[in-house]
Chains A and B, each alone.
Chain A
Amino acid sequence: MFSSYETTKQTVTIILDGKPQRVPAGVSVAAAVLGTGKTHTRTSLISGEPRAPFCMMGVCYECLLEIDSRKDQQSCQVQVKEGMIINRQIRTNGEEK
């Protein structure tokens, strides 16, 4: 849904859902994940529907991700770092994937 407006000079490598991804340095984790082409960051714990970042300013909590082993982090408020391990919080049939 999103692509970079210009070629990025500096990048860092994150591990997203177990796969290494090069993303622009200095961006928020939520932006980095959207920039890799993912359409959603988590599924609703109640309905299982996919959810994506909505407000990008720390209000809506739709961008919750597991970042470096800490669950439910507001990824729009965290900057990417080299080697950061990020997992989307996707549940299927009540089980976390």
Chain B
Amino acid sequence: MKDAFGITTIGFDVAVIGAGPAGISCANSLADMGLEVVVLDEQPNPGGQIYKNIEHVSSACLNILGDDYSAGQPLIKKFRHRNPTYYPGASVWQVNSDGHIFYSKDGISKEEAAKFIVVATGAMERPVPFPGWTLPGVMSAGGANNLIKNGGLVPNGRVALAGSGPLLLLEAVHLIDMGVDIKAILETTPAIPNISSLIHLPQALGRMDLLKKGISMLQKIKKAGIPHYKGIRKLSVKGNDRVESVHALKGDDSINVDADMLFVHFGVVPNTSIYRQIGCEHEWNDIQRYWYPQSDKWGRTSLSNVFAAGDGQFVHGAVPAALKGELTALAIAADMKMIDKDERDKQAKSIENQLQNELKPRSFIDALYAPILNLLDVPKETLICRCECITMGQILDVIDEGCVDPNEVKALLRPGMGPCQGKMCGSIISEIISMRTGKKIKEVGSLNIRPPLKNIPLSEIAEIKFLA
């Protein structure tokens, strides 16, 4: 690498972390503008979760997954053609605000460096605890979807689905198309939409095509004759070593479903681990109840050389994620003087228009499927921290004793100290503290995130390959 004076410098212009729609489109645009890019991604192939395995998937699965999935093909094709430096199978475990990155690949940890960092680590399904959620046979709906994309696997037993949000219903439709025996769909979303969502309906009507898609999903579920309950509470699973039955309440009526598998989905939240670890400022979204990194329209975070792109910046979906990646690329290119600010703004205009058009239904959908957590309904013996087996009762006890900081709860009881490092239970602990004490989430705060973000042996850190 050479700088403007022809002096060799260490590292790349830009490091993009994550090879989903945002990371790929950002890297493609940066490469188009002549910048040296390195893309680090945990998976063996580009595509992120949404376009997982899109280069190798069978035509039968491609048919099932439809246009929203195959839309990723041109993006990945261009990425392969552009061919920026790409490290698949690389787990980033520390990012410093000075642009130094540490990652593990094939059991070896190395250092990389870049002037700018784009964190495009996407979103994850919101973990929501309920009795039996650790039993084999309970899986996230996104997990079941990934098994179709990356394993061609289809459930061969009796399936129930529970939770809320459009992705739950989309997964139901995929499973119907694959001939899966769905015994019930249990939605926490009430049958009558909340008033606050209807305020956003007129704007959503601007994208009738997307709304129609949603309506046809509901019609398909209805036509399949699957019992579909709304406004359910107190979800639980019973079974000895694996799922045997699923239970819930609708009003005072109990719902009991014999099933071998339960796929759950409670919406999608930004994966903020890296932003937190670098030290980016965060904001709280009170409708979808999640933290997201503070950023401007280019995705620039509170740290001027660190950008947030895609669903990790705010959950908008795959198509907007790719557009946001392009906006970030323009801002970095302007900072690097590859284009001037007028050119940046000119090119941004059409991207922003497309983004605005894509986001028309978003506020409506976000409000319609606002999470209903009812965490205080969760029985005391239910595991909250799956890794360290910490129960709801243990957590409530320390809260009642006056421990109202999630980091204190962690220090006392160890939730968040297992392999997942609080990725599963961290947000839940803050929610429980908030609900039990009446304090706002913003006051409660969240678990501190420290490196290493991934579990690596000490021997690997000892033998780390630093940049020369």
- Whether chains A and B associate is yes
- Is A55 a contact partner of B125 (Cβ separation < 8 A)? yes
The interface residues of chain B lying within 8 Å CB-to-CB of A4 are 152-154
Count of A-B contacts with CB under 8 A? Answer: 138
Instruction: Tell me whether A5 and B152 are in contact in the complex, defined as CB-CB below 8 angstroms, given that A55-B124, A77-B89 are known contacts.
Output: yes
In the complex, A55 Cα to B388 Cα: how many Å?
17
- Most chain B CB neighbours (cut-off 10 Å) among A2, A40, A44: A2
Residues of A participating in the B interface, judged by any CB pair closer than 8 Å: 1-6, 8, 24, 26-28, 31-32, 34-35, 39-40, 44, 46-47, 49-62, 64, 70, 72, 76-79
| B55 vs chain A, min Cβ distance (A) | 10
Task: From A1, A8, A58, A59, give the contact of B152 (CB < 8 A).
Answer: A8
Interface residues on B, range: 35 or more
In the complex, A26 Cα to B45 Cα: how many Å?
10
Q: CB-defined interface of B34-72 with A at 8 Å, one 1/0 digit per residue?
A: 000000001110000100010010101100100000000
Task: From B64, B124, B136, give the contact of A50 (CB < 8 A).
Answer: B136
The interface residues of chain B lying within 8 Å CB-to-CB of A59 are 124, 271, 420, 423-424
Q: Which chain B residues (219-248) contact chain A, with CB distance < 8 Å?
A: 241-242
Q: Beyond A39-B136, A56-B144, A57-B124: 20 further Cβ-contacts under 8 Å? A: A1-B136, A1-B155, A2-B153, A3-B153, A3-B156, A4-B152, A28-B151, A34-B151, A39-B242, A40-B136, A40-B241, A40-B242, A46-B389, A52-B136, A52-B138, A57-B49, A57-B142, A59-B423, A60-B424, A62-B386
**Chain A: which residue is nearest B151 at the CB level?**
A31
Task: From B89, B143, B151, give the contact of A32 (CB < 8 A).
Answer: B151
Q: Decide yes or no whether B14 CB sits under 8 A from chain A.
A: no
| A11 vs chain B, min Cβ distance (A) | 12
The interface residues of chain A lying within 8 Å CB-to-CB of B135 are 50
- Is A55 a contact partner of B242 (Cβ separation < 8 A)? no
Residues of B participating in the A interface, judged by any CB pair closer than 8 Å: 42-44, 49, 53, 56, 58, 60-61, 64, 89, 91, 107, 124-125, 127, 134-140, 142-144, 146-148, 150-157, 178, 241-242, 260-261, 271, 386-389, 418-420, 423-424, 455
The interface residues of chain B lying within 8 Å CB-to-CB of A35 are 151, 153
- Is B49 a contact partner of A52 (Cβ separation < 8 A)? no
Task: From A32, A39, A47, A72, give the contact of B419 (CB < 8 A).
Answer: A72
- Is B138 a contact partner of A64 (Cβ separation < 8 A)? no
- Is B136 a contact partner of A6 (Cβ separation < 8 A)? no
The interface residues of chain A lying within 8 Å CB-to-CB of B134 are 44, 49, 51, 62
Instruction: Tell me whether A53 and B42 are in contact in the complex, defined as CB-CB below 8 angstroms, given that A35-B151, A39-B242, A72-B419 are known contacts.
Output: no
Instruction: Tell me whether A53 and B143 are in contact in the complex, defined as CB-CB below 8 angstroms, given that A31-B150, A58-B42, A59-B424 are known contacts.
Output: yes
Task: From B137, B142, B152, give the contact of A52 (CB < 8 A).
Answer: B137
In the complex, the 9 A-B pairs of residues with the closest C-beta atoms, listed nearest first: A31-B151, A56-B143, A52-B136, A61-B419, A56-B146, A46-B389, A2-B153, A3-B156, A61-B420
The interface residues of chain A lying within 8 Å CB-to-CB of B388 are 46
